[in-house]
A = this chain, B = another copy of it.
Amino acid sequence: MVSVELITVGDELLIGQVVDTNSAWLGQELGRIGAQVDRIVSVHDTAADIEAAVRGALERADVVIMTGGLGPTKDDITKRTLAECFGMRLVRDEAVYEHVRQMTAERGMPFNTLNQDQALVPEGCRVLPNRVGTAPGMMFVQRIGERQRMLFSLPGVPFEMKTLVTEQVIPLLREYFALRSVVHRTMMTFGMAESALAMTIAPWEEALPAWLHLAYLPNPRGIRLRLSAYDVEQSVAEQEITRQFEKLREYIAPYMLGYEPSSVESAVADLLRERGKTLAVAESCTGGAVSARITAMAGASEYYLGGVTSYSNAAKVNLLGVAAEDIERWGAVSETVARQMAAGAVTRFGADYGVSTTGVAGPGGGTPEKPVGTVWMAVAWRTVEGAVETEARCMRFSELREQNIERAATHALNMLRLRLLGVSEAFQQTGML
């Protein structure tokens, strides 16, 4: 198996100002193509530390991927250090020079000496053009003893690094190495806790062929179930994994959102598109998060008409048609207000479906009856007769604002998904079939 070592350069990681999410992403992406990250090293941006890390990594690994330290300012010294390390001088790359010139012009930035220096590269490295940023990536091939090693130096800005890896590094690795064949496929689930899920699917898990490996990968937006096959012919592995996930439907169909990168919102989008239906949202405690998650998906305008974030009571009344006396009587966080908000989204936007949230996100605003974390959510839809019907649900989350917003948005979207699937209200309340 091709062994990879990651080196992340920058004080910000060592002093804990930034969490290293780049390495986790790289670990996943490389794993997908059958390369294995065997070590991750984070060092200061000093020449001595960078050089020591590079020399150590080249001793151990087939491939070294470095991120960070390629910016235009004085503290960015990765490029100079690599040039010294490999005994190369820095020369101007005309294509990069032109790219940086254009990019700075487009953004109305000055094309000063610092930017011009971004076009300097160690002579003899392979330049990996960075179409989404100014600092190019670089590839070095080194022979150490018997073996050829590859070293990549990439910018630390996550989307620049990711673009370079996806478009250039991975194709180069595939070209240079015979990668071990690996097939991963991941099913996204939502709505069941990990231990309950494990108990429910235990018979399925026990019947899996020995060469299929199951992993549970929980995160706040659901639990991912990954099946992996190593060194099995790709078509055979893919067929068997597909067959196994089909079998899994017998156990947990309403909890299955689809293959990664599915999410509750992408499942909703698929259902709306299939049926030619439209959606509008009415948010209070989620504050725009439901709308933002829908519109983060390309093509959302096909089915999404828009939303109202009614953070004030007046906005609930004026923009969504909630009855002022109901807010007065039951409070803004109440079943009737949630239902009226969802219905208001349907009528005001002329949508087929509406979904709403109203709750106490915290840290302030809690009461003994409605503590922080209490959220009412509702779904509304137009019947064939043209009437608007609604269903509502109350949940209690945590004391953490960020978590309450995320969970309320996810559960509201899931409630809509279950309505679109025609799963009964009883199921929604209990999570039981």
Contacts and interface: CB of A to CB of B under 8 A. Distances in A.
Contacts of A23: 13, 16, 20, 42
Contacts of A12: 215, 217
A27 B318 CA distance: 48
Contacts of A20: 19-20, 23-24, 40
A111 B239 CA distance: 36
A310 interface: yes
A425 to B, nearest CB: 15
A101 interface: no
A339 interface: no
Contacts of A295: 286-289, 309, 311, 361, 405
A363 interface: yes
A318 B351 CA distance: 13
A292 B287 contact: yes
Chain copies in complex: 2
Interface residues of A, number: 112
A107 B403 CA distance: 15
Contact of A40 (B14, B37, B132, B159): B14
A396 to B, nearest CB: 7
Interface string A210-238: 00000111111000101000000000000
A43 B39 contact: yes
B194 A298 contact: no
Interface string A277-320: 00011010011111110111011110011111111101100110
A257 to B, nearest CB: 16
A198 interface: yes
Interface in A36-76: 36-44, 49, 53, 56, 71-75
A124 interface: no
Nearest to A260: B17
A203 interface: no
Contacts of A315: 280, 305-306, 349
Contact of A193 (B109, B224, B348): B109
A17 B28 CA distance: 7
B348 A198 contact: no
A306 B291 contact: no
B27 A38 contact: no
A333 to B, nearest CB: 12
A11 interface: yes
Contacts of A405: 292, 295-296
Given A42-B39, A296-B405, A115 B195 contact: yes
**Which secondary structure dominates where chain A touches chain B?**
mixed
A363 B298 contact: yes
A115 B281 CA distance: 36
A364 interface: yes
Interface in A1-35: 11-21, 23-29, 31
Given A39-B41, A319-B348, A298 B13 contact: no
B17 A40 contact: no
A295 B308 CA distance: 13
Contact of A350 (B16, B298, B314): B314
A109 B395 CA distance: 13
Given A38-B14, A309-B288, A218 B71 contact: yes
A325 interface: no
Contacts of A11: 215
A350 B311 CA distance: 13
A326 interface: no
Name the residue in A72, A226, A288 with the highest tally of chain B Cβ atoms < 10 Å from its Cβ: A288
Given A12-B215, A310-B306, A315-B305, A114 B41 contact: no
Given A15-B27, A286-B292, A288-B290, 8 more contacts: A17-B226, A23-B42, A73-B216, A110-B195, A157-B218, A287-B294, A301-B365, A319-B348
